[in-house]
Structure 1
Amino acid sequence: MNTKPTIIISPCGTSLLTNGTEENLRKLLNQTTNCKKEELTKEQKDIIDKHIAERREIIQTAGINEARKFSAELNGIITYYSGTPKGEQHILLATDTYLGDSTANMVAEWLEKQKLNATPKNIKNLSTKDIESFRIALSEIVQWCDEELEIQYPRPHWRVVFNLTGGFKSVNGFLQAVAMFYADESIYIFESGSQLLKIPRLPIQLDPEGFIGKNLHAFRRMAILSEELYAEECKEIPETLLEQIDDRVSLSEWGKLLWQKCCKEYYKQTLLPPLSKKLKYSERFEQDAINLSEDRLLIINERLDQLSHYLESLDSDKEVYNPRSLDFKSLKGRPFRSRFSPEPTHECDAWSDRDAKRLYGHFEDNYYWIDMLGNHL
């Protein structure tokens, strides 16, 4: 018997608004599926708002069977728990549209009335209007899975379930692949409408051909610095992992997904060369890094990527990149005066747990030199 707390991720479609709806209204809902609030005419919005209010009133008082009939998402959740909805946390992935946001909120309201924790999660640009916006949204889903889902609900402590009964086919096709990386299982309602199909997470070998390892610097430039590289530089990388415009390429949503799941294996093997041409390592720092354990080396490489990103952002039109995990700043006073030559003048975090190490360095000519890995002052 499973005793782990469970989080269920449910992409939301518009079934709660379209099921059991008369033909003309259904046609209007289908025509405006991808519209944001400001894209609706006043007449369209008035009709839709009236329908939303009526459905909200119905679903707020709906029992199990009625909720199943109206909402594909709720049908999946209720069937998964054999007729009694449970789960410690529910996340409802909403499209970036007026109907999508409304539907996800109504599903969340019903779950909350069952004393369950439910949170709508709006995915920016997620709609089926055009392929470019859609692909940007898929990349955001991968980023959310990596930066929030895996951190807030880590396995094996949590059981992660992707409920793909509702939502849109184009979104769910992508989420089925994502689930192989981030979920314990995916669930669907079989075509009969009452039987649940469960697809467990399969053991898969990531990057079996070593494409990332062989092209690590190119992957880092595209993933960390968001660089567009010449296609010629990436000719050994499979086309499915890249998105090409003219003679330039960047990582596709599949490339970003593979990178997120594989990069840590490479980052804990050895000290990686600087991403930015403005960053240099001293011999002392390189020696400091040789003796690091795998988990500390992983953190150091991630921090150095952030430092490269910071240095590159200094000459860009965008906001200077300096996240809290990096915290690059000038040293107060001159704590290394007479002890080192050249003298470190700046610091950034290496790691903040355990012995709280810092990376110390200085600017010289057009470069920033990492002088050493040292204790927090």
Structure 2
Amino acid sequence: MDGDHQLIVTSCGRELIRRQCADDPALLRVLMRAGSAEPEPDILPKLEARIEAVRQMLHSATPGVIATLCPELLALHQLYEGDMAGRHDRHVLIHSCSWPDQQAVNLIAEWLEGLGMTVETMRIGGLREGEKFLFKEAMAIFTRWCGNVLSNYKIYEFHIIFNPAGGSRILVGLLQTLAPFYAHESVYLLEPGRDLVHMPMPSVQTRGDRMLRQHLHALRRLFAGLSVHPEKLAKIPEQVLMADDEGHYRLSFFGELLWDHNRRDIYGEAMLEPISDRIIITERFRDGAAELDRGRFILLNERLDQLSFLLEAGEVNMDRTTLSLLSLRPLDAPLQESTHSCHGWADKVLWKLLGHYEGSRFVLDALVEG
């Protein structure tokens, strides 16, 4: 397995535990029917004993034996060609919300961490029958996570591998669908053998630039988490939207893909008009932003979207990390008409957005260095 920096996303199920309970029909029935809740107290101790036995086996067994325990471990064993010593890769294990799946994933995570790997587990909701909206919402959330997190790993030259080894067919299908957009390669176990096939993923740029530009203001508001007037929503292709039971709209799984793969190109062209009428931009501010390069235009437009959300939705509804990053605060002393500043970005120098309030509206006075 080549590459100094790798991030491996593996879909996981309950097979690791199920196989260890194959000799007990009562335990198997509980595992197959289990939801997110913990099993009944009369059966839980027996299950916990089997789980502990698997944990001990993972600590003591040879790599060859571990590879026989479940498809997820077999795929990882094959991926590393049986030698995981000295590796410090990052792993993300995605799984359903069911109790057996979570227990199995915890065991795999412990095993990987014991080998020196960095591991994150991620639950994907909506995999039960009758939870169609929850699944669509989970797909959209996972797609946004891929756009935010995996795109950054690519910047730092991590080699990203999707490993749809276990779990439900829907979970496997989710990784297979997203692999061409976010992974450098995807790996598959050939049935019924033990061979692992590596499939390089082509770089995919989703078509949709024209549609995004046509509805840019509305889509920017949706991505930021703000409401959009029903008349504007009605003009947007329905496949890029999803609504909950209360009629609140957001970008769908497909909408997130379109947005993520075109947003930087659009945001990097010039400063866009704010998505909220609570922001007023002065000519002085526009002049200061006129000569920015592509990367800084992207950062500036992201800040304008975040500031729009803060002004409309308030601090209490804003993600704590984003709120800290924006860092809107009063100046120690007024600077001409400006009374407040917020963080722009930091490259060679620190850039700030200066402004002042006029009632509920915020006037951006200047974009300054230092």
TM-score (norm 1): 0.87
On the 8 A contact 1:11/1:93 being kept in 2, the answer is yes
Which segment is superposed worse, 189-198 or 131-140?
131-140
Partner Cα separation in structure 2 for residue 4 and residue 189 of structure 1: 23
Q: Which residue of 2 aligns with 1:307?
A: 307
Which segment is superposed worse, 232-241 or 186-195?
232-241
Q: Please state if 1:345 is matched with 2:339.
A: yes
Q: Unpaired runs of 5+ in structure 2?
A: none
Q: Which residue of 1 aligns with 2:358?
A: 364
Q: Please state if 1:74 is matched with 2:73.
A: yes
Q: Which residue of 1 aligns with 2:55?
A: 56
Q: Within 5 Å, which residues of 2 pair with 1:322-341?
A: 323-336=323-336
Q: Which residue of 1 aligns with 2:101?
A: 100
Q: Which residue of 2 aligns with 1:157?
A: 157
Q: Which residue of 2 aligns with 1:16?
A: 16
Partner Cα separation in structure 1 for residue 118 and residue 356 of structure 2: 49
Q: Within 5 Å, which residues of 2 pair with 1:110-189?
A: 110-113=111-114, 115-123=115-123, 125=125, 127-128=127-128, 130-151=131-152, 153-155=153-155, 157-189=157-189
Q: Which residue of 2 aligns with 1:214?
A: 214
Q: Which residue of 2 aligns with 1:339?
A: none
- SS of aligned partner of 2:202: coil
Cα deviation digits, residues 9-66 of structure 1 (max 9, x gap): 112111101125134322210100x3233xx322242332222122222333222232
- SS of aligned partner of 1:174: helix
Which segment is superposed worse, 279-288 or 202-211?
202-211
Cα deviation digits, residues 73-125 of structure 1 (max 9, x gap): 11111122333346532222243332222211211233344x34141413364
Partner Cα separation in structure 1 for residue 344 and residue 111 of structure 2: 45
Partner Cα separation in structure 2 for residue 132 and residue 193 of structure 1: 37
Q: Which amino acid aligns with 1:78?
A: H
Q: Which amino acid aligns with 2:117?
A: N
Distance 1:192 1:228, change over 3 A: farther
- SS of aligned partner of 1:206: coil
Q: Which amino acid aligns with 1:64?
A: P
On the 8 A contact 1:229/1:249 being kept in 2, the answer is no
Q: Within 5 Å, which residues of 2 pair with 1:83-98?
A: 83-85=82-84, 87-89=87-89, 90-98=91-99
Partner Cα separation in structure 2 for residue 365 and residue 92 of structure 1: 48
Cα deviation digits, residues 221-262 of structure 1 (max 9, x gap): 1110342552x4234543322114587642112212321232
Cα deviation digits, residues 115-148 of structure 1 (max 9, x gap): 3414141336464352333333323322332333
On the 8 A contact 2:343/2:351 being kept in 1, the answer is yes
Partner Cα separation in structure 1 for residue 46 and residue 132 of structure 2: 29
Q: Which residue of 2 aligns with 1:295?
A: 295
On the 8 A contact 1:139/1:256 being kept in 2, the answer is yes
Q: Which amino acid aligns with 1:335?
A: L
Partner Cα separation in structure 2 for residue 208 and residue 333 of structure 1: 47
Which segment is superposed worse, 365-374 or 136-145?
136-145
- SS of aligned partner of 1:180: helix
On the 8 A contact 1:94/1:123 being kept in 2, the answer is yes
Q: Which residue of 1 aligns with 2:31?
A: 29
Partner Cα separation in structure 2 for residue 155 and residue 4 of structure 1: 14
1:372 to partner: Cα distance: 0.9
On the 8 A contact 1:7/1:88 being kept in 2, the answer is no
- SS of aligned partner of 2:260: helix
Q: Identity, % of aligned pairs?
A: 27
Partner Cα separation in structure 2 for residue 330 and residue 320 of structure 1: 20
Which segment is superposed worse, 15-24 or 355-364?
15-24
1:206 to partner: Cα distance: 1.8
Task: Note the aligned Cα RMSD (angstroms).
Answer: 2.5
Q: Which amino acid aligns with 2:268?
A: K
- SS of aligned partner of 1:345: strand
1:208 to partner: Cα distance: 4.3
Partner Cα separation in structure 2 for residue 366 and residue 55 of structure 1: 59
On the 8 A contact 2:11/2:166 being kept in 1, the answer is yes
Partner Cα separation in structure 1 for residue 319 and residue 192 of structure 2: 55
Q: Which amino acid aligns with 2:119?
A: T
Q: Unpaired runs of 5+ in structure 1?
A: 337-342
On the 8 A contact 2:208/2:258 being kept in 1, the answer is no
Partner Cα separation in structure 2 for residue 182 and residue 369 of structure 1: 38
Q: Which amino acid aligns with 2:289?
A: A
